Amino acid sequence: MRRQLTAVVSFAFVATNGAVLAHHSFAMFDQENPIELEGVVQEFKFTSPHSFIILAVKQQDGSTQLWSLEGAAPSALVRDGWSSKTLKPGDELKLTIGPLRSGAPGGSWSVSKTKLKDGQPILVSQ
Amino acid sequence: MPVRGSIGAVVLATVIVTTIAAARAHDETKYPDWSGQWLRTGGIQWDPTKPIGRGQQAPLTPEYQAIFEASLADQAVGGAGNDARYSCLPVGMPRLMSVIFPMEFIFTPKTTYILFENNMPRRIYTDGRSWPDHPEPTFAGYSIGKWIDADADGRYDVLEVETRHMKGPRTYEGSGLPLHKDNQTIVKERIYLDKTNPDILYDEITTIDHALTRPWTVTKKFRREHNPTWFENDCSEDNHHLAIGKEHYFLSGDGYLMPAKKGQAPPDLRYFNQSKK
């Protein structure tokens, strides 16, 4: 079920880059050659050691491919005003990600490069 | 009745004196105020004054520089290199003191504990003990510390620590910068507050290791958070990175294995019954 996030402008927050705050190497994600993705949140995993956005991305042939996107730890996201409820299944997002070097549907996501599909920032609280 | 009254008074006095003595056994006024939550001020690299990876200019021996270069090359194509932390392996010392996530100090008379948001605690024994003969090695090692009153004002202000008896594999940072596989590392620390700002803490860390051409000293700087929040941060909760054999794989959005490196072969399934075609 889709949920339209209210396009309320959030205050300024510290941009959270998953690679900067990772407790392990993020080198498997190609940060030098980022790609744009649009899709629908299937699941927002607010879990340790890293958060995940499982994103359903429509393919050209009409099928859907699930992308596994790794981000900052929940404790780091909370310090940026995020919570386990910031994203919900059905949210439509536009992201710039660092893709897996293997070409498989996975990558890294970051707060600063994640917006609603219409370009508005994600609503957070603080 | 006067005799009973006297006995009661003696007992009461004894109890009071004993209680006071116990309180003085751990005189908190002798210790610095390192209370609260401490956050790193730099990035996740080992030497915070230099870039991660080759930029660290680590004084590695030629043998270990080659091991490091191989790790970087593996990471450049999607592998994990030497950085085993992706599979939730403890980082151990000295990398624990990069404090990727916050830490807290707890002082007791015989032990100083460092609690980490995402790692097992460190125990630093301050009871004057000698080194044990053959302790079981651990990733965090065995730490003996000594409180120093450097400015002779009657209050400790520096904690000097030495750590030995570590096990591996260990690296300094996520680039896979390696320590020697012989695990003969010695780590020496001096931990103290900034003299002008009590909300800044320094840890001067010197690593002595056979993968190095000389002792390597870096200074970590932490800031005190006055409005802390603590989180549960357990690597085993939902880790999507898997180590199978010597390969690193990644879990898909629907829970299946995916390659992390281009052209990576699937895992060896020799222990599975596979139908012959």
Chain-chain contact of A66 with B262 (C-beta, under 8 angstroms): no
pLDDT at A27: 82
Residue A7 has pLDDT above 90, yes or no: no
**In degrees rounded to 5, what are phi and psi of residue A88?**
-135, 155
> Any idea where the domains of chain A sit in the sequence?
35-116
> Could you read off the pLDDT of A83-104 as tens digits, one per residue?
999 999 999 999 999 999 999 9
Chain-chain contact of B237 with A49 (C-beta, under 8 angstroms): yes
Chain-chain contact of A74 with B231 (C-beta, under 8 angstroms): yes
Instruction: Classify domain A35-116 at the CATH topology level.
Output: OB fold (Dihydrolipoamide Acetyltransferase, E2P) (2.40.50)
Higher pLDDT, A126 or A80: A80
Same domain (yes/no): B191, B263? no
Number of domains in chain B: 2
Residue A6 has pLDDT above 50, yes or no: no
Residue A30 has pLDDT above 80, yes or no: yes
Enumerate the residues of chain B whose CB falls inside 8 A of the CB of residue A41: none
> Could you read off the pLDDT of B67-122 as tens digits, one per residue?
999 999 999 999 999 998 988 999 999 999 999 999 999 999 999 999 999 999 99
Residues A68-97: what's their mean pLDDT?
94
pLDDT at B11: 59
pLDDT at B31: 95
The span from the CA of B266 to the CA of B272, in Å, is 13
Chain-chain contact of A23 with B234 (C-beta, under 8 angstroms): no
User: Which long-range CB contacts under 8 A does B123-128 form with residues at least 24 apart?
Assistant: B124/B159, B124/B161, B126/B159
Enumerate the residues of chain B whose CB falls inside 8 A of the CB of residue A97: none
Is A70 at the interface with chain B, CB within 8 A?
yes
Could you give the maximum distance between any two Cα atoms of chain A, in Å?
42
pLDDT at A19: 46
Same domain (yes/no): B249, B149? no
Nearest-CA distance A38 → chain B (Å): 15
Per the domain annotation, does B216 fall within a domain?
yes
Mutate to test the interface with B, among A28, A29, A65, A83 (most CBs of B within 10 A): A28
* Assigned token pair, B143: 């730490």
- What is the ipTM for the molecules in this complex? 0.79
Mutate to test the interface with A, among B97, B116, B250, B254 (most CBs of A within 10 A): B250
pLDDT at A15: 38
Mutate to test the interface with A, among B116, B139, B248, B252 (most CBs of A within 10 A): B252
Nearest-CA distance B242 → chain A (Å): 13
Same domain (yes/no): B244, B220? no
pLDDT at A124: 83
Same domain (yes/no): B215, B89? yes
Same domain (yes/no): B137, B247? no
Is A27 at the interface with chain B, CB within 8 A?
yes
User: What separation, in Å, do the N-terminal and C-terminal C-alpha atoms of chain B show?
Assistant: 101
Residue A120 has pLDDT above 50, yes or no: yes
Bridge partner list, B138: B166
As averages over each run of 10 residues, the pLDDT of chain B (277 residues) reads 58 55 65 96 95 97 98 93 91 97 96 96 98 96 97 96 98 97 98 98 98 98 94 92 91 94 92 72
Per the domain annotation, does B275 fall within a domain?
no
Enumerate the residues of chain B whose CB falls inside 8 A of the CB of residue A23: 44, 85, 91, 100-101, 118, 174, 235
Per the domain annotation, does B30 fall within a domain?
no
pLDDT at A79: 82
Per the domain annotation, does B120 fall within a domain?
yes
Task: Count the Cβ atoms, other than its own, within 10 Å of residue B40.
Answer: 18
Three-class secondary structure of residue A115 per DSSP: strand
> What's the domain range around B262?
240-270
- What is the SS3 string spanning chain B? CHHHHHHHHHHHHHHHHHHHHHHHHCCHHHCCCCCCEEEECCCCCCCCCCCCHHHHCCCECHHHHHHHHHHHHHHHCCCCCCCHHHHCCCCCCCHHHHCCCCEEEEECCCEEEEEECCCCCEEEECCCCCCCCCCCCECCCEEEEEEECCCCCCCCCEEEEEEECECCCCECCCCCCECCCCCCCEEEEEEEECCCCCCEEEEEEEEECCCECCCEEEEEEEEEECCCCCCCCCCCCCCCEEEECCEEEEECCCCCEEECCCCCCCCCCCCCCCCCC
Nearest-CA distance B72 → chain A (Å): 9
Per the domain annotation, does B26 fall within a domain?
no
Residue of A nearest to B234 (CA): A48
Nearest-CA distance A117 → chain B (Å): 20
Residue of A nearest to B248 (CA): A28
Chain-chain contact of B252 with A23 (C-beta, under 8 angstroms): no
pLDDT at A12: 34
Residue A1 has pLDDT above 50, yes or no: no
Per the domain annotation, does B108 fall within a domain?
yes
Same domain (yes/no): B139, B55? yes
pLDDT at B246: 86
pLDDT at A22: 61
| Confidence band, pLDDT 50/70/90 cuts, at residue A17 | very low
Per the domain annotation, does B66 fall within a domain?
yes
pLDDT > 90: percent of chain A: 66
Instruction: Tell me the CB-side half-sphere exposure of residue B2, using CA atoms within 13 A.
Output: 0
Enumerate the residues of chain A whose CB falls inside 8 A of the CB of residue B52: none
